Structure formats: structure tokens, C-alpha cells
């Protein structure tokens, strides 16, 4: 008998973009390592402090940025109702413990009353957490010139990128490129730069042993206080608190 929910616990090596679509609601949690999720014109970074709920039938592109150990829980659609097609959110201690409890029940196991109760408790907690999704996302660029501008911005985050220089490099006037950012990204270039920096910092906090100060400087912040303020504004906690939460199950 097919289980109403089951868990898959696996390790993956770094890998390029891969598209997948599941016939069940899919919750994925990185125990260690980092992955990038892309869907619906947005990009998220998934580190050990964050989880993602992907609705059944929804296509997502996954890039494994560093060797990854993940726990994924797949739910029959009747067991939970996602808030949206894809939500990335911070994982609570309760959610982590429930994922730990679910790990013994793989796809080859049916659900007895006890395991079903654990999975249902996890489903309820996931739905609650997904009501407050992460704000730290970067929309996709729709035009080639904007994609090039974002790539040049990403390459220069350790310094202070010059918008006028980037505009010239992609063959746009500063005014035209600024309009493209507002129209296609829904935010200014400066806000895009801030989000790129914080997403890189999230990756480094979860995967490196560099100090918070070293990470702040490496992503282009001249002061630790400015980095802390920007990080808290987007992530909802300080860099140190985030690193503390990014621990293995």
C-alpha cells in the first residue's frame, strides 16, 4: 500500500541546474550544504536554516551549489494544502525535530497510525511556517541586457559596483537600465544588489567557517553594523543567529 507520506534522506554532490516536477507536495530541507531553487521568475537560496514547500505538479529548477545532504518529505495532496506553488521559509526547531522523526519512514513503508500522526503534525507545522515566506529572493531578469547587468553586479559584489559602468557594459544608458530594473525586477538596481549580497552571505554563513565580519566584507559591506542591519531587515535575524540556526539535524 502506498504511504500517504514518506521521507527520503540522501546525499548529493554539486550539480548544475536540473528541472523536476513531483506528483506530491514536496517539502525539502537541507541538513547540510546549499542549493538554489528557481521557479516562477524568482530565485531562492536554500541553506540548513530554511525549508521549501513545493506544490505537486509545480516545476522547479534546482542547482546544488555544494555537497548536500537533504531530507525530503513527500505528501499526498490530500494531507496538506500549500499556501502557494512554492514557499521558502525559516525552519523552526519543532519542524527540524519532526523531520528527524520522519526519517525512518521511506517510500517502501506504509503509514501506521503513529507515523501518520507524525507526518500530519509536520504538515501542519510546514503550512504554518509557509505563511511567512522568506523575503530574500531575487526575481529573474526577462531581457538579455538585464541578465548581463545582474551577472556583472554579482561578479562585483565584493567591491562597490558602479551602476553607470554596468549600464555602459551592456549597451544601455543609465536611465534606460534603471527603468528595466524597475519594470522587470520590480525593484531598483540598488535593492537587487542588496539582495544578491545577502543571499551570498546566507550561503557563506551556512557553508564556510569565515567569521561574520569576514563575510560582511567579502560581500561588499564596509562596516559590520551596516551588514547586520541589512541582513536582519531581509532575513529577520542577525547573521550570528542565522548561523547558529543552520545546524545539522
What is the percent of the chain with per-residue pLDDT over 70, rounded to a whole number?
Answer: 98
pLDDT-derived band at 244 (thresholds 50, 70, 90) equals: confident
Residue range 18-39: mean pLDDT, rounded: 89
Q: Within this chain, do residues 17 and 90 fall inside the same structural domain, yes or no?
A: yes
Whether 55 contacts 85, CB under 8 Å: yes
Query: Each residue of 83-123: pLDDT tens digit?
Result: 888 999 988 889 989 999 999 999 888 889 999 999 999 99
Residue listed under C-alpha cell 520590480: 186
Query: Each residue of 149-181: pLDDT tens digit?
Result: 998 998 999 888 999 999 999 999 999 999 999
What is the model's pLDDT at position 61? 92
Q: Within this chain, do residues 200 and 146 fall inside the same structural domain, yes or no?
A: yes
Q: Within this chain, do residues 93 and 37 fall inside the same structural domain, yes or no?
A: yes
Range of the domain at 197: 138-245
Say if residue 241's pLDDT is above 60.
yes
CA quadruple 61, 81, 126, 206: dihedral, nearest 10: 10
**Which residues in 129-166 are b (16+ Cβ under 10 Å) and which e?**
bbeebbebbbbebeeebbebbbebbbebbeeebebeeb
How many Å apart are CA 201 and CA 178, to the nearest integer? Answer: 25
Note the residue count of the chain.
249
Whether 80 contacts 229, CB under 8 Å: no
What is the model's pLDDT at position 5? 95
Quickly count: other Cβ atoms within 10 Å of residue 217's Cβ: 16
Question: Structurally, how many domains does the chain consist of?
Answer: 2
Question: Of 138, 63, 130, which is closest to residue 92 (Cα–Cα)?
Answer: 130
Q: Within this chain, do residues 227 and 116 fall inside the same structural domain, yes or no?
A: no
Phi, psi of 28 (to 5 degrees): -125, 140
Q: Within this chain, do residues 150 and 225 fall inside the same structural domain, yes or no?
A: yes
Say if residue 204's pLDDT is above 90.
no
Amino acid at each position: 500500500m502506498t504511504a500517504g507520506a514518506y521521507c527520503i534522506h540522501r546525499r548529493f554532490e554539486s550539480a548544475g541546474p536540473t528541472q523536476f516536477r513531483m506528483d506530491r507536495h514536496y517539502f525539502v530541507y537541507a541538513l547540510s550544504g546549499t542549493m538554489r531553487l528557481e521557479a516562477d521568475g524568482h530565485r531562492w537560496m536554500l541553506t540548513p536554516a530554511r525549508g521549501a514547500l513545493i506544490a505537486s505538479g509545480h516545476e522547479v529548477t534546482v542547482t546544488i551549489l555544494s555537497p548536500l545532504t537533504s531530507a525530503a518529505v513527500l505528501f499526498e495532496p490530500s494531507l496538506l494544502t500549500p499556501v502557494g506553488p512554492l514557499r521558502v521559509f525559516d525552519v523552526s526547531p519543532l519542524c527540524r525535530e519532526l523531520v528527524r522523526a520522519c526519517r525512518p519512514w521511506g517510500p517502501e513503508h506504509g503509514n501506521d497510525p503513529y507515523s501518520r500522526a507524525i507526518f500530519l503534525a509536520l504538515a501542519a507545522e510546514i503550512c504554518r511556517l509557509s505563511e511567512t515566506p522568506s523575503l530574500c529572493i531575487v526575481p529573474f531578469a526577462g531581457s538579455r541586457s538585464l541578465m548581463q547587468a545582474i551577472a556583472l553586479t554579482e561578479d562585483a559584489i565584493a567591491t562597490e559596483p558602479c551602476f553607470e559602468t554596468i549600464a555602459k557594459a551592456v549597451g544601455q544608458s543609465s536611465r534606460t537600465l534603471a527603468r528595466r530594473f524597475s519594470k522587470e525586477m520590480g525593484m531598483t538596481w540598488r535593492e537587487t544588489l542588496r539582495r544578491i549580497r545577502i543571499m551570498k552571505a546566507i550561503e557563506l554563513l551556512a557553508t564556510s567557517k569565515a567569521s561574520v565580519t569576514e563575510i560582511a566584507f567579502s560581500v561588499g559591506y564596509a562596516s559590520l553594523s551596516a551588514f547586520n542591519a541589512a541582513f536582519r531587515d531581509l532575513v529577520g535575524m542577525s547573521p550570528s543567529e542565522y548561523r547558529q540556526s543552520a545546524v545539522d539535524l
